[in-house]
Chains A and B, each alone.
Chain A
Amino acid sequence: MKIEVDHHSGLPGVFVRVDGKVRINARQLHYRELNNMIKGAAAEGAEEIVVDNVYGQRYIGSGIRRAVNITVHGVPGNDLGAFMDGPRITVDRNAQDGVGNTMNSGVIVVHGRAGDIVAMGMRGGRIFIREGVGYRAAIHMKEYRKFRPVLVIGGETQDFLGEYMAGGLVIVLGLGKKGKASFAARHIGTGMHGGLIFMRGMVEEHQLGKEAAAVQASDEDKELIRPFVEEYAGYFGGDPREIMRSGFLKLFAKSHRPFGGLYAY
């Protein structure tokens, strides 16, 4: 059989501008070329940048320090929105590893699944993933004063969620599970020393890293996450009141300095 790969749908890099809206065909563009175009359009004041035929180009949205809407059609490469400071990125398919790596502010909305290390070292802004995520989501996420990053995961999470987490808020909705179904992830919150993780469903004690503890979320706790659940439903549908009626577990760090004695004595 002959498998044809379409390399030629439209001219690569063609840049169409209509009323402050820019459209770029990313087919066969290297990430440097593509990101230079996106940054150029953002610098010239474009409000809306739509990128078609994205297949694995890395660092989309990096280095942009203003609010601009970037819509990605395709599968963006690793480190989507890394170090980003302001843009709003929407992805119509799955994302790869490292979504929102060390991002500072802005919003990333993924209408599919994301890979490993989502929100790694994230410092501010919000990330919404419609479906599940891979390993080590929110690894070393952190917060400082008014900067408090938020990650909302609609589906499942895999192992090492919140590893070495130092701050911020993670909400795992586990949608698609029925009732009080339990999560399968292991080593959740290993090395955790700050921040909060809310999980809708059950987690057994042995699934937690030894630095994390879990309690049933109180009504007051749930008020903390309500606006972000509503925002999630705004992007992807669903009834936020229905979601909020379920029981949530709240995971937190047992100590803010779990390794304080490791090298000091």
Chain B
Amino acid sequence: MLRSAFCRDDKDFSACSIFGMMNMRGEKFDGGPVITAIANMKERSNGLGGGFAAYGIYPQYADLYCFQLMYDDEGAKEETEEFLKGSFSVEGAEVIPTRPCEGVDDPPLLWRYFLQPRENLACEVADVDDFVVRAVMHINVRIDGAFVFSSGKNMGVFKGVGFPEDIGRFFRLEEYEGYIWVAHGRFPTNTQGWWGGAHPFNILDWSVVHNGEISSYGINRRYLEMFGYICTLHTDTEVIAYAVDLLVRRHGLSVEDMARVLAAPLWTEIDRMPERERELHVALRQTYGSLLLNGPFSVIISNRGQMIGLTDRIRLRPLVAGRNGDFMYISSEEAPMHLVDDTLRETWIPQGGAPIVAELEESTRKEEEEGAKVLSLRGPDSA
């Protein structure tokens, strides 16, 4: 049912809105400001999708994977829980708290689980994170009416059909505290508005919000299938989440090299580069040509240590950045950054294809790693 529950597919003129704010010292704040910011760009969305990602919100379960699921019905829930119990030790299971909210209709069943992979099973796979990715794929592909929309540690995605500020109130986001908040207001162009198709798209700690269209979706998707990522959510943005997981976590690329793959410079520019730089770009394009994102996009990609802004190489979608002390902002428009931070003065327009990276301070990372006994932020195989 979820797969066919496509809502209100009317065409209004607009464009998606994206907004992200991060405290680079890891100090946490509630979901209020980011709701205010994304609501300020209401003209850019049409009520067919809104969503948020928040990092640092489950400190009491920081070393457990948190799966947030949407279910069609009790049957899908039972089948999924049966599967989860087989692969994980389930340390917590609860309904995701919501409140009735005008503009948010017919939500699916929303549940979250705090999970520890069963050691004997996880050992069979080379890496625990890979084991978790396989579990997510299994549920999304094999279990009818069940979708994992969030699967990271100490973070969560909250999304659905509605304007983002209504979705934020529906999920009671003012009750959570995180150090990175990312938001999206959707204006679907080529695919349906449905709960799973709202942004952010997530796998493990990665989440992606996107304004634009990925016209290379077909070739990107087929390439990712070779590595076990199956696209099930009917929206082009899904490939970006899996692509960054493959490139950065599994293949160990830097964020800069990831950007060189996703938004590769034009060949005329590569031809003018100094030799070593040219060799690097040529090698990346030869190896990962199938992950080049064609078409207009601006995205915010985040994980527990970073918030990254990126546009396509000729900047066919807007993105502005701002910094004020420990806070970094990335936004579709300038005004909402100033609305939530009236002392903000340093803002700029990034070059097309050049990533803007906000990073958690080293000392804060260490604290989180040691304090919560979590694995390294990027997962064990990127070392």
- A: which residues have CB within 8 A of B? 1-3, 5-7, 31, 54-56, 58, 74-78, 93-97, 113, 115-116, 132, 134-135, 158-160, 186-187, 206
| B-chain residues with CB within 8 Å of residue A113 when the two chains form the complex | 347, 349
The CA-CA distance from A115 to B36 in the complex, in Å, is 22
- Asked if B8 is an interface residue, CB under 8 A from chain A, the answer is no
The CA-CA distance from A95 to B333 in the complex, in Å, is 10
Known: A2-B30, A115-B320, A158-B349. A55 touches B338 (CB 8 A): yes
- Asked if B318 is an interface residue, CB under 8 A from chain A, the answer is yes
| Contact partner, A115, options B272, B318, B339, B341, Cβ 8 Å | B318
| Contact partner, B318, options A3, A6, A7, A97, Cβ 8 Å | A97
| A-chain residues with CB within 8 Å of residue B74 when the two chains form the complex | none
| B-chain residues with CB within 8 Å of residue A95 when the two chains form the complex | 334
**Binary A-proximity of B257-295 (CB < 8 A = 1, otherwise 0):** 000000000001100100000000000000000000000
Determine whether the beta carbon of B320 is less than 8 Å from that of A93: no
- B: which residues have CB within 8 A of A? 23, 27-30, 32-33, 36, 40-41, 43, 268-269, 272, 314-315, 318, 320, 333-336, 338-342, 347, 349, 351-352
| Contact partner, A94, options B269, B336, B347, B352, Cβ 8 Å | B347
| A-chain residues with CB within 8 Å of residue B334 when the two chains form the complex | 56, 75, 94-96, 115
| B-chain residues with CB within 8 Å of residue A159 when the two chains form the complex | 314-315, 351-352
The CA-CA distance from A77 to B43 in the complex, in Å, is 10
The CA-CA distance from A159 to B269 in the complex, in Å, is 13
Q: List 28 A-B contacts (CB under 8 A).
A: A1-B23, A1-B28, A1-B29, A3-B29, A3-B30, A3-B341, A5-B32, A5-B340, A31-B43, A55-B335, A55-B336, A56-B41, A56-B334, A56-B336, A75-B334, A94-B347, A113-B347, A116-B315, A116-B318, A132-B349, A134-B315, A134-B349, A135-B314, A158-B351, A159-B314, A186-B269, A187-B314, A206-B268
The CA-CA distance from A206 to B320 in the complex, in Å, is 27
| A-chain residues with CB within 8 Å of residue B318 when the two chains form the complex | 97, 115-116
Known: A2-B30, A135-B352. A206 touches B272 (CB 8 A): yes
The CA-CA distance from A113 to B322 in the complex, in Å, is 13
Task: Give chain B nearest CB distance to A99 CB in angstroms.
Answer: 12
| A-chain residues with CB within 8 Å of residue B23 when the two chains form the complex | 1
Determine whether the beta carbon of A3 is less than 8 Å from that of B33: yes
The CA-CA distance from A7 to B40 in the complex, in Å, is 12
The CA-CA distance from A262 to B30 in the complex, in Å, is 56
The CA-CA distance from A95 to B349 in the complex, in Å, is 12
Across the two chains, which residue of chain B brings its CB closest to A5?
B36
Majority DSSP secondary structure for residues of B touching A: mixed
Across the two chains, which residue of chain A brings its CB closest to B311?
A135
Determine whether the beta carbon of B315 is less than 8 Å from that of A5: no
| A-chain residues with CB within 8 Å of residue B30 when the two chains form the complex | 2-3
Determine whether the beta carbon of A6 is less than 8 Å from that of B335: no
The CA-CA distance from A31 to B44 in the complex, in Å, is 13
Task: Give chain B nearest CB distance to A192 CB in angstroms.
Answer: 16
The CA-CA distance from A78 to B336 in the complex, in Å, is 12
Known: A56-B41, A186-B269, A187-B314. 15 other contacts (CB 8 A): A1-B27, A1-B28, A3-B29, A55-B335, A56-B335, A74-B335, A75-B335, A76-B335, A93-B338, A97-B333, A113-B347, A115-B334, A134-B315, A159-B315, A159-B351
| Contact partner, A2, options B29, B268, B314, B336, Cβ 8 Å | B29
| A-chain residues with CB within 8 Å of residue B40 when the two chains form the complex | 55-56
| A-chain residues with CB within 8 Å of residue B349 when the two chains form the complex | 113, 115-116, 132, 134-135, 158
| B-chain residues with CB within 8 Å of residue A74 when the two chains form the complex | 335, 338
The CA-CA distance from A160 to B352 in the complex, in Å, is 11
Task: Give chain B nearest CB distance to A82 CB in angstroms.
Answer: 14
| Contact partner, B315, options A7, A77, A135, Cβ 8 Å | A135
Task: Give chain B nearest CB distance to A174 CB in angstroms.
Answer: 16
The 4 closest A-B pairs by CB, nearest first: A56-B335, A134-B349, A75-B335, A55-B335
The CA-CA distance from A129 to B320 in the complex, in Å, is 17
Across the two chains, which residue of chain B brings its CB closest to A160?
B314
Determine whether the beta carbon of A5 is less than 8 Å from that of B339: yes
| A-chain residues with CB within 8 Å of residue B340 when the two chains form the complex | 3, 5
Task: Give chain B nearest CB distance to A135 CB in angstroms.
Answer: 5
Determine whether the beta carbon of B29 is less than 8 Å from that of A56: no
Task: Give chain B nearest CB distance to A172 CB in angstroms.
Answer: 15
Across the two chains, which residue of chain A brings its CB closest to B271?
A206
Across the two chains, which residue of chain A brings its CB closest to B34?
A3
The CA-CA distance from A141 to B30 in the complex, in Å, is 45
The CA-CA distance from A186 to B30 in the complex, in Å, is 41
Across the two chains, which residue of chain B brings its CB closest to A134?
B349
Across the two chains, which residue of chain A brings its CB closest to B44?
A78
Across the two chains, which residue of chain B brings its CB closest to A135?
B315
The CA-CA distance from A187 to B268 in the complex, in Å, is 11
The CA-CA distance from A78 to B333 in the complex, in Å, is 8
| B-chain residues with CB within 8 Å of residue A76 when the two chains form the complex | 335
The CA-CA distance from A58 to B44 in the complex, in Å, is 11
